[in-house]
Amino acid sequence: MDTVINVPVLIACLIALVIAIIANNKFKMHLGVICLFFAFVIGIGMQGMSSNELLSGAPANIILIFLFAVPFFTAISQTGALQVLAKKLIRATKGKTGILPVAIILAIALISCCAEATVMYVLGPLVVTICLLTGMDLILACMLFAFSIPIGSANPFTTLTGQVIMGITQSSGAADPFKLETAVWLNMILNSIILIIITMVIFKGFKLKKAEIDENENLEFTRDQKVAVRLFIVALILLVCPSVFAVIFPKAAVFTWLKGVLNVYSVYTLMTILAFILKIAKFNDTVRKVPWTVLATLVGVMLLIDVATAAGLGTLLSDIISSNVPVFLIPAILILCSALFSFVATFFAVFPLLVPVAAAISANTGLSLAMLVSCICIGAIGSGSTSPLSAMGAQILSVMPAEEQPSLSSRMIRYTFVTIAVYFVLALVGVYKIIPALLGV
């Protein structure tokens, strides 16, 4: 049954979001708390949702990550181990700090192939330390994560994102979901390369200052630092290896079982407990440094968006795109809608919402379904990774220094609109048509 569009609720949600953003920027009021208030007022008072229905939209997985993953990296960062490790890496470059961003990009993309949901927690603290030592702008670090993760996470072989893309496009009538998803992945890689180059030029990523590291400085690890590094490595192995072996040996049930058991929550909970037992961090200091304000913002905004979704936001977008947009503008408009919606939502919420729209448009206009799905993914993942109000963007922000997060959040929001404009232009000139045309999808 089609969702009924509740126009007054949609208007109220839009007004509420605008009020929340203005109150946050002008009066320093908490964005998440304001959105949460409006979500309850509009959702229950106007949309007729129950409190249980409303609260079911809270991102439980993200909440658990903040509860268990973030404290672990907060704990090991207190030992200073990451600073020593970063200095070792910088010393190994022999002053050529300009190659560090390239190394960071490759590392992020590689780990994202098997651990897309945890890569920012695996590499985030180390990247931040490199930023502080070399003068790399922290906003550049955020964007390197945002644009490098899709290079690995959108592949059709090893990731949840790739499987979701194939599954939903197959349900929407795609003749060859694997070939379609391969085209989408290659478009994501192309898009990421373009955005990385633009971002590196804007924020001078190839002109980092030479870190002042005394060649005679003793970079040996202390006892606590050795323990922290070992916990870090063990966590990485436990998270990545089961995923890799599950792909290599798909019929081995034990690896599938291990992949499910050794998830980000269980592994980092264990590592955090071990960090406290081994006395390399203090519980109170660790909990106090977790960025709870970021989590509150994420929960409040996503609940407000859930109210808008229940009020028929997806149906409204479908009607507008299918009936009122000229064919040559459809890819660009589809990217715009996907990006703006993902600004405060997740890929997994936006993608299922818009793929049926893309399938209908493809059937009616003859446009490549792979190209249209690419536009949805680029808009959703791209905007969702750079916006601090989305799930991925909030996770990236959470690994940045706590004292820098308020200013970084504002800068990420501004740069998100820059990236959306780039996506729009690339779609308008037909860049995302090239790879599907070459693959014949």
Which of 154-163, 186-195, 262-271 has the highest average model confidence (pLDDT)? 186-195
Report pLDDT for 29. Answer: 81
Quick check: 349 pLDDT over 70? no
Q: Which two tokens stand for residue 219?
A: 């970079």
Stretch among 4-13, 112-121, 124-133, 244-253 having the lowest mean pLDDT = 112-121
Report pLDDT for 78. Answer: 73
Quick check: 168 pLDDT over 80? no
Beta carbons of 67 and 273 less than 8 angstroms apart = no
Report pLDDT for 285. Answer: 77
Task: Check residues 223 and 426 and name the one with the higher pLDDT.
Answer: 426
Q: Which two tokens stand for residue 92?
A: 């190994």
Rounded to an integer, the average pLDDT of 99-103 is 80
CA distances from 404 to 74, 113, 203, 367 (A): 15, 29, 17, 44
Rounded to an integer, the average pLDDT of 346-363 is 76
Beta carbons of 23 and 34 less than 8 angstroms apart = yes
Stretch among 22-31, 107-116, 231-240, 275-284 having the lowest mean pLDDT = 107-116
Quick check: 6 pLDDT over 70? yes
Stretch among 40-49, 52-61, 132-141, 365-374 having the lowest mean pLDDT = 52-61
Rounded to an integer, the average pLDDT of 400-408 is 86
Beta carbons of 123 and 133 less than 8 angstroms apart = no
Q: pTM for the complete prediction?
A: 0.67
The whole-chain average pLDDT of the chain stands at 81
- CA-nearest of 273, 221, 276 to 80 is 221
pLDDT per residue as tens digits for the range 412-421: 999 999 999 9
Query: What pLDDT band is residue 344 in, cutting at 50, 70 and 90?
Result: low
Rounded to an integer, the average pLDDT of 247-261 is 84
Rounded to an integer, the average pLDDT of 313-328 is 77
Query: What pLDDT band is residue 1 in, cutting at 50, 70 and 90?
Result: very low
Task: Check residues 5 and 147 and name the one with the higher pLDDT.
Answer: 147
Report CA Rg, the chain.
22
Quick check: 372 pLDDT over 50? yes
pLDDT per residue as tens digits for the range 187-244: 999 999 999 999 999 988 877 766 555 566 677 888 888 888 888 788 878 877 887 7
Stretch among 82-91, 149-158, 215-224, 246-255 having the lowest mean pLDDT = 82-91
Task: Check residues 345 and 162 and name the one with the higher pLDDT.
Answer: 162
3-state secondary structure the chain: CCCCCCHHHHHHHHHHHHHHHHHHHHHCCCHHHHHHHHHHHHHHHCCCCCHHHHHCCCCHHHHHHHHHHHHHHHHHHCCCHHHHHHHHHHHHCCCCHHHHHHHHHHHHHHHHCCCCCCHHHHHHHHHHHHHHHHCCCHHHHHHHHHHHHHHHHCCCCCCHHHHHHHHHHHHCCCCCHHHHHHHHHHHHHHHHHHHHHHHHHHCCCCCCCCCCCCCCCCCCCCHHHHHHHHHHHHHHHHHHHHHHHHHHCCCCHHHHHHHHHCCHHHHHHHHHHHHHHCCCCCHHHHHHCCCHHHHHHHHHHHHHHHHHHHCCHHHHHHHHHHHHCCHHHHHHHHHHHHHHHHCCCCHHHHHHHHHHHHHHHHHHHCCCHHHHHHHHHHHHHHHHHHCCCCHHHHHHHHCCCHHHHHHHHHHHHHHHHHHHHHHHHHHHCCHHHHHHHHHCC
% of the chain residues with pLDDT over 90:
20
Give the angle 162-365-372 at the CA atoms, nearest 5°: 20
- CA-nearest of 230, 259, 233, 266 to 67 is 266
